[in-house]
Structure 1
Amino acid sequence: MTTKTVLVIGSLNMDLAVSVQKLPHQGETVFGSSFATFPGGKGANQAVAAGRLGAAVKMAGCVGRDGFGADLLEGLQASHVDRTCVEQVDQSTGTALITVDAAGANTIVVVGGANWACDAAAVDKALTAAGEPGILVLQNEIPQETVEYAIKAAKAQGWTVIFNPAPARTLSRDIMPLVDIIIPNETETAVLTGLPADSDEAVIKAARKLLDQGIGTVVITLGARGSLCCSGAEQYRIQPYPVKAVDTTAAGDAYVGAMATGLAEGRSLRDSLEFASAAAAVAVTRAGAQPSLPWRKEVDAFIRKAGSLG
C-alpha cells in the first residue's frame, strides 16, 4: 500500500509519576507509594500512535542531551517512528511532574525545557526531509510562533494540516483558514470559541463558529460520547465503541494519530474517524500514555470482533 508521509512536529516529554495516599498541602511532606517514568508529550504520543498503526511517520522536535532524551529517542525507534528530525539541544528534556492520590486526583507541573527550542529552522528541516507533501500534525506544546510558521510553510507546499489545539491556545486570525482539520476536545472547544460545549446543541454551535473562522473541517472529540465532525458540506457523529475504560490518558493522541494514519492511507475522512475511534477505544482499556497506544494488528482485531460503527 502506498501511503503519504505523516509528519508530526511537536513535544517530547518524560512523565515522572508518583502515587500518594493524599496530595500534600503547601509546605507538607508526604510519602509516596510508587514512582515510575513514562515517555510522553503530545507530539511524541501522536507520532508513536501513527507509527504503531503502520504509518510512514516522521517526528520533529527537540530533546535534551540527557538520559531522558536518549530514552525518548529509543522509544520512537521502537515504535517505527523516523527520529532523524528530532534534535538534541542544550536545554533539559521536557518533563511532566505528576502526583496522583488514592482517589485519582492529581497535580501536574510541566517543564517545557527542550520543547521550547523547536523553531522555524526545525520546521524547514523536517519539511525538506519529508519530501513529497503528506499529512502534517501539530499541537500546542511547542512555541506558538513555531506552530503558526509550520502551518504556513506546510500549506504553501501542499500538505494537509491537522491541528490538535492542546493545551487550548488560539491561533492568529490569518492562520485559521490554513488549517484543514482542527481536533479539539470539549474543554478546548469552549476556550477557542468562548462558547459552552456542554450539550450536543452547544457543541454544534461552537463547531460552526470555528468553521466561520475559515477552518476546513472541525472534529470535536466528546470522550465516551464519540466525536462530531462538521464541515461546510456535511455534519455527522462518530459513535464510540463500547468498552470499559481503565485509563483515558493519551486516548486523544491515539485518536489523532489513527486519523492521520487513515488519511495517509487514502481513506475517506469518515472511515479515518471510525478507525480513530477504534484505536482510542483500545487505548483506554490499558494504563499509561504511550504504553497504552495499540499496534495495527490489535486495532484490526478489535474492529473484527466489535464490528463496524456504520
Structure 2
Amino acid sequence: MISVFGSANMDLVAYVSQAPRRGETVTGHRFRTVPGGKGANQAIAAARAGGEVTFLGAVGDDGFSAEMRATLTEAGVGVRGLRQVPGPSGIAHIVVDDDGGNSIIVVPGANGTVTGPTGEDLAAIAGSRALLLQLELPMEAVVRAAQAARVSGVPVFLTPAPAQPLPAELLEAVTTIVPNEHEAAAITGVTGADEAMDALLELVPEAVITLGSEGALYGSREGERLRVPAVKVNAVDTTAAGDTFVGALAVARTERMPMERALRFASVAAALSVQREGASTSMPTRRQIEDALD
C-alpha cells in the first residue's frame, strides 16, 4: 500500500488565451471546477497507475467536500483517513493559457488545519510500502509524518512544492526528493540540473529532478546517474503533470521496477496527462501507460 499524506483542493480553472499581467483584466473562454490538490492528485495518479493507495488529509464542510471524496473513491483511493473539519475546503485558482502553461493560487482552507498525523494516520503510514508527501500542508505536519515513516522503515517521497525552506529534520527522513528544476535551484541555491543534483545528494539519499520537455534526471549517493528523455507530445494543460509523475514513480518503485524503467513509466504517465485538461481528470490508467510505454 502507498500512503499519501497531503492536500485536497477544489481546482477552479479559468482558460484564457493569455494570462493577465498585474492590473490587467482579460476575458476567458471557459471555466470548470475539478477536484485536485497535490496530495489528492498524487493519490489518484498512483491508484490509476496500478497502486493500492490510501489518502490521509482533510476537507471542509462546504459543498466541495463531497465531490472531492467521491473523486478519490471513484479512482480507487481509500478515504478512511480523509477527515472532515468545520469551514471551507482548500481551493486552487488556476489560470491556463492557450499554450498549456498555468499559474496557480492556493488557499489552504481545511488543509491548514492538519497539524500532524492522527493515530489512524500513523498506523496507515507504518503499514505502507511508501509515503508520499508534498508541502501544501503545514510544515510541522509534513515533518511529523516523514519522521513516523522513517521510524517504521517506510520510504518517503517528497515533492518540495510549493518551494520553501526545508528543515533538517524533514530532509533527514526523506528517501527520495522529486523537485522540478526551479524547486531544485531554490533548495540548493545552484542552477543547472547536474550541479543541483550534486547538491541534493548531500541532503538526501536519492533525487529525481523533473525537467519538463527535457525529461528527468536521477541520482543516488551510490553513484548512479540516469537521464531519461521526455516523451514528445503536444501539451494542452500541464496542471498536475508533476503529481502524475510522482504517483506513477512511487508505484513503479514499490513494484521494484529497475530505476530506468520506473523513470520511463513515470515520464509516459506525465506525458499522457498533459494531453488532457484538468488535474485529476487527466491522469492515465495503468493500461494506458503500459500501452504507450511498450
Asked whether the two chains share a fold, i.e. TM above 0.5, the reply is yes
Deviates more, 1:163-172 or 1:99-108: 99-108
State the secondary structure of the residue aligned to 1:175. Answer: helix
8 Å CA contact 2:126, 2:149 repeated in 1: no
What is the number of equivalent residue pairs in this alignment? 292
How far apart are residue 295 of structure 1 and its match?
0.7
* Matched residue, 2:210: 221
1:232: which partner in 2? Answer: 221
Counterpart mapping for 1:173-192 below 5 A: 173-192=168-187
Q: 1:105 to 1:80 in 2, by over 3 A?
A: closer
Q: CA RMSD in A?
A: 2.0
In the alignment, which residue of structure 1 is the partner of 2:198? 208
What does 1:57-136 correspond to in 2, within 5 Å? 57-100=53-96, 108-122=104-118, 124-129=119-124, 132-136=127-131
**Identical residues among aligned pairs (%):** 42
Deviates more, 1:103-112 or 1:160-169: 103-112
Question: Are the counterparts in 1 of residues 125 and 148 from structure 2 also a CA contact under 8 Å?
Answer: no
| Alpha-carbon displacement from aligned partner over 1:47-102 (angstroms, at most 9, x marks no partner) | 00011111010001100112211100000001000011010001210011234566
Q: In structure 2, what is the equivalent of residue 46 of structure 1?
A: 42
Residue type matched to 1:188 in 2? Answer: E
Structure 1 residue ranges without an equivalent (≥5) = 197-201, 305-310
Q: Show CA shifts across 1:105-149 (max 9, x none).
A: 765432110001122243x42231355241000001000011111
Q: Which runs of 5 or more structure 2 residues have no equivalent in the other structure?
A: none
Q: Secondary structure at the match of 1:258?
A: helix
Q: Distance in 2 between matches of 1:110 and 1:139?
A: 13
Aligned with residue 166 of structure 1, among 161, 169, 194: 161
- Give the residue type in structure 2 aligned to 1:96: A
TM-score (norm 1): 0.88
1:277 to partner: Cα distance? 1.1
Q: Deviations over 1:242-263 (max 9, x none)?
A: 2222222211111100011112
Range with greater deviation from structure 2 (53-62 or 263-272)? 263-272
Q: Report SS of the residue matched to 1:236.
A: strand
Inter-CA distance 247–24: structure 2 relative to 1 (3 Å threshold): closer
CA distance 1:163–1:30, shift in 2 (3 Å)? closer
Partners of 2:117 and 2:172 lie apart in 1 by 23
2:280 matched residue in structure 1: 290
The aligned amino acid for 2:290 is: D
Change (3 A) 1:227 1:21: closer
> How far is 1:32 from its partner?
4.4
Distance in 2 of aligned mates of 1:30 and 1:235: 45
Given the superposition, is the C-alpha separation of residues 8 and 24 from structure 1 closer, same or farther in structure 2, using an over 3 Å criterion? same
> CA separation in 2, counterparts of 1:31 and 1:222?
31
- Distance in 2 (CA, whole Å) between partners of 1:302 and 1:105 is 24
Q: Secondary structure at the match of 1:178?
A: coil
Question: 1:171-192 CA deviation, whole Å, 9 max, x = no partner?
Answer: 2123313211000001101110
Q: Structure 2 length as normaliser, TM-score?
A: 0.92
Alpha-carbon distance, 1:29 to partner: 6.5
